[in-house]
Each structure stands twice: as C-alpha cells, then as structure tokens.
Structure 1
Amino acid sequence: MDDPVIELRGATKRFRGATGGVHTAVRDLTLSVGRGEFVAVVGPTGCGKSTTLSLVSGLEPPSEGEVLVTGRPVRGIPDGIGYMFQNDAVLPWRSVLDNVAAGPRYRGSSRAAAREKARGWVGRVGLAGFEKYYPHQLSGGMRKRVALAQTLVNEPSILLMDEPFSALDVQTRALMQDELLRLWSGTGAAVVFVTHDLEEAVALADRVVVMTASPATVKASFDIPLPRPRDVEELRLTPEFLDRYREVWDSLREEVAKSRERSAQRVA
C-alpha cells in the first residue's frame, strides 16, 4: 500500500485494572489503511476493537509500538479526524442546526458561516425542515443523522466509527448504512468502521479485518471486491455477498468460540 493514511506498527495497549492488575487490550497490532479506503474491523466482544480506534484518534497512547497518521506519529488528536461513537454526542440543549454548526464554530467559523454550512449538511442527511427541532423531539434514526452530519460537516480525511448504528432497528440501520455510503462516496476519506455485525461489515467495506480474541491482534484481512455504488439490502441477497460473508465468518467463528470459552471459564 502506497503512503497509507493510518499505520499501526506493533502497537500494544495495556490498562491498569481496578484491582491493580494489568489488562492488555491489544497486542502487537499491525494494520494499514489507505486514503479513501473503507475498512471494517470485526472480532469477538471485548477483544479491543474500540481500543484500536482510540489509538488512531490519539485518545489513548500506545504502551508499545507506533501509531502514525499521514506519516506522522500520533501525539494527541491528529488534524482531520472525525469520530462517530456508539452513543451519539448530540447536545440536548441545542437545536439540530446548532448541533451541526458546533464543529465549524469550534474551528473558528463565524456564527453565520457555521450555520450556513450546517444547514447544507442537515439537508444532505435528509433532515431539511428539522433544523429548529431539539434532540428529544427526534427518533433514534434522526439523531443518528444529526450525529453523522456533525461528523461530516468538518470534512474529515479520516472517519472513525465505533458501532454507530448498533442501537437502531433493522430497517433504520439499513437506511443509515446506505446513507453513510452515499455521503462518504467521493470524499476520499479513509474509514475505520468497528462493528459486531458481520453482514454490516461485508456490505459496507472494501476490506474486512478480523481481530483475534483478547488481547486483540490482526488475524486475517479479506478484500471485499463487490461493486460500488452499493444498495445494502439488495447486495445482501447476491451470491457474491454470501460467498464473502462465509469466507470471513470461517475466520471469525474460531475467535468468537475462544472468547466464549474464556468467559465460561471465568464464570466457573
């Protein structure tokens, strides 16, 4: 891969436990993501997928190894990072428009310029007419659209997404997946998308990375050469999708089984 925008080189992250012990979340993690590439990361529950995003974002430093963004070691939060969490960061006391305008305002735009830019993104995520609504007046799917606009309004070159659609019902989730692909297309942004849903990973990504049971490292990486643009619901019915799904699941299934065995042993 020429000039990857994200590189983890033998990255290890340890945390001090509540009882004084040390927990290794990820170990010897080596991963590269190219400019404009959509990479989905899957693995057993609690294996360290979210920690990987924290290392890339600069929210956590590695205990060992290196993390580089655009060729530079990460020392704090790099420029151009957009982070969409599992729980949205929509502020309840702000309207839809002012939630989306907050990022540009923080970056120095005037109130008028920030609101104008935000208005455009509110429309692009399908919420035109809801600019004056407050979060408590919105459905879960609408709040996710606000969160997506909040992230994309800053035009990130790297988009980190930590199970952003996991709390949504099946139909709304599919709509948001299509919406994400539509808005991401042509931006050139690299995406690292953490999910427990293998169908979601295969439907969205150019490449699916399978992590081992904790402590996480990369077990395997699978290219997903399905054509774009993609309609998520239609894609899932194709033989090509099912072939890719089975291939990745054969690798992931072993790690899920290991994780369950370890959990059962701890309980016993």
Structure 2
Amino acid sequence: MTPVPIVLDGVTKRFASPRGEHREAVRDVSFRVEPGSFTAVIGPTGCGKSTLLSLICGTERPESGTVSVDGRPVDGIGQDIGFVFQTDAVFPWKTVLGNVAAGPRFRGVPRARAQALAADWVRRVGLAGFERYHPHQLSGGMRKRVALAQTLVNRPRVLLMDEPFSGLDVQTRQIMSDELLSLWELTRPSVVFVTHDLEEAITLADKVVVLTAGPATVKEEFDIDLPRPRDAREIRHHPDFVRLHELVWKALRDEVRVAYERGLGAA
C-alpha cells in the first residue's frame, strides 16, 4: 500500500483534571511526517507524546488545529493505521498464529488466506516453529515480535508506536530495533515512534521531533541524515551519530530539567 503524509497543524488538546479543571496536554503543535518516512517524537516524561498518537489515530479529537492523514482530516479510527503499544496487546488465549491472523480475519479475509498471511509474517519476524505457542510461553522480545507481526500483517499505511521496546533489556532493544527497521523496509509505512530514549530515536528515524515539557509544543526538529540500511549497534559509532546526539540533547536537556523540577515541586 502507498504510504501517506501525516500533518499536524496548530493542534491543541485539553483534558479534564480530577478537580474539574482543564489541563493542556499539547499546545499549538505542528509537524509533518513525509510519506514512507520514520519520525521519532521525544520529550520529557508526561509531556504529551502519547496524546499526539491518540490524535493521529483518531481516538482523541483536538480542541483546535487539524490532524490530517493523506490530505483528509482525521475523524475516527482508520483501517490504514496500525498501532503498537508499550504493553503487549496480544490475546493470551490465542496462539502466535492466531494472534497474527486476528487482524485479517476481523477485516473479512477468509480463514485460509488469513492463516497463510499470518504464517508468512510469523516467519518474517523470526518466530517460525513457534506458531502454536501461547504468549505466556514466550519471552518479552518474542511477544514484541508477535505484536509487530500482528500489526504489519494488515499492511498499514501509517504505523504508530508508543515506546514499544521500553520494557526490554538493552541487548534485546537493539535486536528489536534491527528487526523493526528490516520489517519497515518491506512496506515503508509512514511511522511516528514515541520514545524516551534519545539513542533509539536517532538510530531509527529520518527525523526527530523534540517536544517541550508539558504542555507539549515542538521545540525543534532534526533531520537524521545517517545512511540506510542501518545496524542498530554499528550506527552508534558513526561520527555523524555522535554529532546528532549532541545537537538533539542540547535541545532536550533543558526540557528534561524543567520536568524534573516540576516533579520535585509537586512532591
């Protein structure tokens, strides 16, 4: 499927607090994701990164501004959008094959065809031989692979990812980053990837968007002009990686400090 642009233009979103007050989660946010590109969004804890994903996928609506996908305003959850969550969104009662086949079946694909598609994606994520296993029989990294296959089998034109590797150890995160890049290259959806990990953001992305401490605004955008294909471990030794890390960290550092000091004040 042809990848599509994602455009946020002056987007503001508020939520009601327990006291009945309205708190701004994001304020006047504008950025663009080019078709088939990989954009990482990074910022301090609680600044509104996940809210942006909710606005793009259509589960939340902005108070002002517009969110558009493929030139059309987002007015609900679209079938062309895939979402990989921080926690494993797998069905514990289904096998690996059953989990991956669930999306195509829900979309009306005949059972035999859905099973064949699922088997192909199970192989692509390196889980051939584990088709009949259930999630509780898998490691954390293997469950993340199931979640990726479960999403990518539907060939989404937009892929939203909310810190999908945050619960994994460093070595497994690097392996999963390589897996993700390889799988992304197969269909090239337009990706918005939320993370707290600056190295992860630079390793994966074509562009890094730095958000301010909440309410989130776009502080700065950085083009990541590192060569592709990338190896998650090797690319971090590239001289331009070190240069980009320093540039992005200078933009991010003050926002992290602000968020930390707010947390001390609240305590």
TM-score bin (small chain): over 0.9
1:222 corresponding residue in structure 2: 222
> Aligned-pair distance for 1:170?
0.8
> Aligned-pair distance for 1:188?
2.8
> Aligned-pair distance for 1:127?
0.1
2:196 corresponding residue in structure 1: 196
User: For this pair of structures, how many residues does the alignment match?
Assistant: 265
> Aligned-pair distance for 1:78?
2.0
Moved more, 80-89 or 14-23: 14-23
* 1:183-262 correspondence runs (5 A): 183-262=183-262
- 1:158 and 1:105 mapped to 2: Cα distance? 20
**Structure 1: tracts of 5 or more residues without a match:** none
> Aligned-pair distance for 1:167?
0.3
1:175 corresponding residue in structure 2: 175
Secondary structure at the counterpart of residue 216 of structure 1 = coil
2:144 corresponding residue in structure 1: 144
- 1:115 and 1:251 mapped to 2: Cα distance? 47
> Aligned-pair distance for 1:186?
4.3
Secondary structure at the counterpart of residue 11 of structure 1 = strand
> Aligned-pair distance for 1:4?
6.4
CA offsets 1:155-187 (integer angstroms, 9 cap, x no match):
001100000000001111100000000010142
Query: What letter matches 2:257 in structure 1?
Result: A
Q: CA RMSD in A?
A: 1.1
Contact 1:69 1:78 in 2 (8 A): no
- 2:160 and 2:58 mapped to 1: Cα distance? 12
CA offsets 1:93-117 (integer angstroms, 9 cap, x no match):
0000000000000000111110110
Query: What letter matches 1:221 in structure 2?
Result: E
Percent identity at matched positions? 62
1:51 corresponding residue in structure 2: 51
**Structure 2: tracts of 5 or more residues without a match:** none
Query: What letter matches 1:49 in structure 2?
Result: K
Contact 2:4 2:158 in 1 (8 A): no
Secondary structure at the counterpart of residue 176 of structure 2 = helix
Contact 1:41 1:211 in 2 (8 A): yes
Contact 2:40 2:193 in 1 (8 A): yes
Contact 2:4 2:157 in 1 (8 A): no
Query: What letter matches 2:215 in structure 1?
Result: P
Query: What letter matches 1:234 in structure 2?
Result: E
Contact 2:4 2:190 in 1 (8 A): no
Over 6 Å off, 4+ runs: none
Secondary structure at the counterpart of residue 233 of structure 2 = helix
